[in-house]
A and B are shown apart, each in its own frame.
Chain A
């Protein structure tokens, strides 16, 4: 993944955010990571003050999204992302504790690209994040139009 891709991490649990970041770095990913801890600030950052998302025009974004946010459901953010003409092509990785089959299906239906359940077992947790990092390094991410 080229250096100019920005990783936007929407995660309310600081601990999780920290662990995710650590493990992404361990996989050798050097990209900028913007950490947002609630739905409102995530919406503001992604879609800008005017809500159009035009601020990110020409940037390459990769979005890590937790579904259980204190102020809104990650599903709503996912819906808005996929409905936005600038952001709809940015890959979304849902990273959450929910392993409910319905929820997973729903996310894929809404256009999520990868769905990862955070395992409690740290070995597998670290592993999945690192693999995700490796995955980042090989995937092509389009710039926002």
Chain B
């Protein structure tokens, strides 16, 4: 089927159509021509008939003139003479008419014979005239034998016969040619009709072929659509599973890392106890320096362990958040953020900062997650204020067609452009490291926002302030609905 496809491609269709039209035109033209030809042929036959009839009349007139003349010669009645003259005039008129008719049927070719006929008739008439003259002078009987002798009646008769025959032949020849042509045209038309049938058949095949292909394509599309949904569902499941595995992994790893840490810390502390016993007994001296080194080493070990513990705890907290099941409920965001701000009131007072919460659009989400999101953002806003400026923190919100937008804006120290993306990464911090923290707050926030189907972004002008924008879609993502139902 595919091999035939290019030959029967639907682009051929217009060409076939044009060809069909051309053939139809040809056939139509042929029919018109045939009708015209038939008309012409019958007109031509009529003309021939006319010529024949005129020739017969001419013959009759000649005969009448001759017999009238003879009657005159025999009887000498002048009435017959008058008749002969009238006949001669009629013959002239008939000849002129015949000349016209012959010119119509065959142009010049017959004019020789016709001219001879004309001459013979003229001779005959003049002979009759002479004979009449002699009758008047010499009496009736003297003229007759001569008259009979010189008469061209027989010639005239044969010439008229020839003319009739010629005319008949001419007509027959022309009719034969015409019918030959008609047959040729008819044959051409028949071929055209056949071709049209072939073209129609080809068209039908092409149309059916392309319909079949279209239907196959439609079917394939439908199948693809169905399998696409399946694929998406499968991929989503795979992704979810992979995600769960990663979280599990992080959880187990961070968990198991704590056990050796307990030992390291425990025995370091035991060492510290032993050190006290050792160095106290020996007293002062060169050991004092050694004791200093010992203390330094121990304190480094201990602070490192403490930090490691904090990091592991942070990871644990994150993974635990990732595993927690969300409960979606309608939430008065103004109230939720307002109570977080109230909770931070003391801290704000210490930092000489004010927190303003404007009316916020309500949202359908997990209360705890939202508390943690805005709690972290507000804590950061308070923590990273500038020491020389009274802090102003504002929480605003509005509804857009796709969802809700909430913004936490401060006039603090800001974040440099190069750090804007990094601050959301785990353990990454920005600017001078003069505030306590591990750099997991924003990671946590981003994880929660994403689990709620939203997105978080930051705009900041270093030294002027930052704005964190949280966008939630109106409809929670399907994946989350599944886990919560």
Residues of A within 8 A of B (CB): 13, 15-16, 19, 22, 68, 97-98, 100, 118-123, 125-126
Residue from A16, A22, A68 within 8 A of B263 (CB atoms) = A16
How many residue pairs, one in A and one in B, have C-beta atoms under 8 Å apart? 49
Instruction: Compute how far the CA of A13 lies from the CA of B257 in the bound complex, rounded to whole angstroms.
Output: 13
Instruction: Compute how far the CA of A123 lies from the CA of B258 in the bound complex, rounded to whole angstroms.
Output: 16
Interfacial residues of chain B within 261-281, with CB under 8 A of chain A in the complex = 261-263, 265-270
B321 interface residue per 8 A CB criterion = no
Instruction: Compute how far the CA of A13 lies from the CA of B270 in the bound complex, rounded to whole angstroms.
Output: 17
Instruction: Compute how far the CA of A120 lies from the CA of B267 in the bound complex, rounded to whole angstroms.
Output: 11
Distance in Å from the Cβ of A82 to the closest Cβ of chain B?
25
Give the interface centre of A68, A119, A122, A123 by most chain B CB atoms within 10 Å: A122
Residue from A19, A120, A122, A126 within 8 A of B258 (CB atoms) = A120
Residue from B255, B260, B270, B309 within 8 A of A22 (CB atoms) = B270
B255 touches A121 (CB 8 A): no
B309 touches A121 (CB 8 A): yes
Instruction: Compute how far the CA of A119 lies from the CA of B269 in the bound complex, rounded to whole angstroms.
Output: 13
Contacting residues, chain B, for A68 (C-beta < 8 A): 256, 259
Distance in Å from the Cβ of B303 to the closest Cβ of chain A?
12
B305 interface residue per 8 A CB criterion = yes
Given contacts A121-B306, A121-B309, whether A16 and B259 have CB atoms under 8 Å apart is yes
A13 touches B259 (CB 8 A): yes
**Mask of B303-326 contacts with A, CB within 8 angstroms, 1/0:** 001100100000000001000000
Given contacts A120-B309, A121-B306, A121-B309, whether A98 and B255 have CB atoms under 8 Å apart is yes
Contacting residues, chain B, for A118 (C-beta < 8 A): 258, 262
B262 touches A15 (CB 8 A): yes
Instruction: Compute how far the CA of A98 lies from the CA of B262 in the bound complex, rounded to whole angstroms.
Output: 12
Given contacts A22-B270, A97-B255, whether A121 and B263 have CB atoms under 8 Å apart is no
Contacting residues, chain A, for B320 (C-beta < 8 A): 100
What are some 23 contacts across the A-B interface (CB < 8 A)? A13-B259, A13-B262, A13-B263, A15-B262, A15-B267, A16-B259, A16-B263, A19-B270, A68-B259, A97-B255, A97-B258, A98-B255, A118-B258, A118-B262, A120-B258, A120-B262, A120-B305, A121-B265, A121-B306, A121-B309, A122-B268, A123-B269, A126-B269
Of all A-B residue pairs in the complex, the 8 with the closest CB atoms, nearest first, are A15-B263, A122-B269, A120-B309, A19-B266, A122-B265, A97-B258, A120-B261, A122-B266
Distance in Å from the Cβ of A137 to the closest Cβ of chain B?
23
A125 touches B265 (CB 8 A): yes
Residue from A15, A97, A98 within 8 A of B266 (CB atoms) = A15
How extensive is the interface on chain B, given as a class? 10 to 19
Distance in Å from the Cβ of A127 to the closest Cβ of chain B?
11
Contacting residues, chain B, for A119 (C-beta < 8 A): 262
Residue from A97, A100, A120 within 8 A of B265 (CB atoms) = A120
A125 touches B259 (CB 8 A): no
B262 touches A125 (CB 8 A): yes
Interfacial residues of chain B within 309-362, with CB under 8 A of chain A in the complex = 309, 320
Contacting residues, chain A, for B268 (C-beta < 8 A): 122
Residue of A nearest to B256 (CB): A68
Residue of A nearest to B266 (CB): A19
Instruction: Compute how far the CA of A119 lies from the CA of B259 in the bound complex, rounded to whole angstroms.
Output: 9
Contacting residues, chain A, for B261 (C-beta < 8 A): 120
Residue from A16, A22, A100, A123 within 8 A of B262 (CB atoms) = A16
Residue of B nearest to A20 (CB): B266
Q: A15-B262, A15-B267 are in contact. List 15 more A-B contacts (CB 8 A).
A: A13-B263, A15-B263, A68-B259, A97-B258, A97-B262, A98-B255, A100-B320, A118-B258, A118-B262, A120-B305, A120-B309, A121-B309, A122-B266, A122-B268, A125-B265
Contacting residues, chain B, for A123 (C-beta < 8 A): 269
Interfacial residues of chain B within 243-263, with CB under 8 A of chain A in the complex = 255-256, 258-263
Distance in Å from the Cβ of A29 to the closest Cβ of chain B?
18
Instruction: Compute how far the CA of A15 lies from the CA of B306 in the bound complex, rounded to whole angstroms.
Output: 18
Contacting residues, chain B, for A121 (C-beta < 8 A): 265, 306, 309
Give the interface centre of B259, B269, B305, B320 by most chain A CB atoms within 10 Å: B259
Contacting residues, chain B, for A97 (C-beta < 8 A): 255, 258-259, 262
Give the interface centre of A15, A118, A120, A126 by most chain B CB atoms within 10 Å: A120
Contacting residues, chain A, for B259 (C-beta < 8 A): 13, 16, 68, 97
Contacting residues, chain A, for B305 (C-beta < 8 A): 120
Instruction: Compute how far the CA of A118 lies from the CA of B262 in the bound complex, rounded to whole angstroms.
Output: 8
Distance in Å from the Cβ of A19 to the closest Cβ of chain B?
4
B266 touches A125 (CB 8 A): yes
Instruction: Compute how far the CA of A19 lies from the CA of B263 in the bound complex, rounded to whole angstroms.
Output: 8
Instruction: Compute how far the CA of A118 lies from the CA of B309 in the bound complex, rounded to whole angstroms.
Output: 12
Distance in Å from the Cβ of A145 to the closest Cβ of chain B?
35
Distance in Å from the Cβ of B172 to the closest Cβ of chain A?
120
**Mask of B176-198 contacts with A, CB within 8 angstroms, 1/0:** 00000000000000000000000
Contacting residues, chain B, for A15 (C-beta < 8 A): 260, 262-263, 266-267
Distance in Å from the Cβ of A62 to the closest Cβ of chain B?
21
Distance in Å from the Cβ of B264 to the closest Cβ of chain A?
8
Residue of A nearest to B305 (CB): A120
Instruction: Compute how far the CA of A13 lies from the CA of B258 in the bound complex, rounded to whole angstroms.
Output: 12
Contacting residues, chain A, for B269 (C-beta < 8 A): 122-123, 126
**Mask of B219-256 contacts with A, CB within 8 angstroms, 1/0:** 00000000000000000000000000000000000011
Give the interface centre of B266, B267, B268, B320 by most chain A CB atoms within 10 Å: B266
Instruction: Compute how far the CA of A118 lies from the CA of B258 in the bound complex, rounded to whole angstroms.
Output: 9
Residue of B nearest to A13 (CB): B259
B255 touches A19 (CB 8 A): no
Instruction: Compute how far the CA of A95 lies from the CA of B364 in the bound complex, rounded to whole angstroms.
Output: 40
